[in-house]
Amino acid sequence: MKFENTGIENFKADLNRLDEVMQEHGLVRAGQWDYERVTYDRKFELREGTFYLRIQGYALDGDVDIFKATIQLMTPFLGKHYYPHGVEYGEDEHFPASLVSQCKKILEEVKAEIEKFAS
């Protein structure tokens, strides 16, 4: 499920500041990066299954591996994990309304924080 028109996808921001803001909202980058891309995930374990709120981005300049990069953020999305296959994001997935609302609130809070320093 994509969260269209959140405004997050319009931001370009410093990687280190992004790491701080995302971590404050439970979105973890951990080992999910390469030299040009980053992925921030927040895991939700519910009765209906395991879900991930994901925000991805790519480096416009610099290198992620040395923590010096300007990241262009992309459209956030929500997926459901299926063992052992992985996470599915398709339109056919069912996402609990309470989870969708919680994710929208998190995205609004993240956007408000990033607006303070992003271009």
**99 domain residue, yes or no:** yes
Q: What is the per-residue pLDDT for 67?
A: 87
Here the CATH number for the domain that contains residue 62 is 3.30.310.100
**19 domain residue, yes or no:** yes
Q: What is the per-residue pLDDT for 28?
A: 95
Domain that holds residue 37: 8-115
Report residues of the chain scoring pLDDT below 70.
none
**56 domain residue, yes or no:** yes
Find the angle CA(93)-CA(3)-CA(91) to the nearest 5 degrees. Answer: 20
**63 domain residue, yes or no:** yes
- Reference 39, options 25, 49, 60, 53; nearest CA is 53
Name the domain count of the chain: 1
Q: What is the per-residue pLDDT for 86?
A: 82
**3 domain residue, yes or no:** no
**36 domain residue, yes or no:** yes
What is the distance between the alpha carbons of residues 99 and 18, in angstroms, rounded to a whole number? 23
54-75 pLDDT, tens digit per residue, is 999 999 999 998 889 999 999 9
Quick check: bond before 84 cis, omega within 30?
A: yes
Bridge partners of residue 52, in order along the sequence: 43, 79
Q: What is the pTM of this model?
A: 0.91
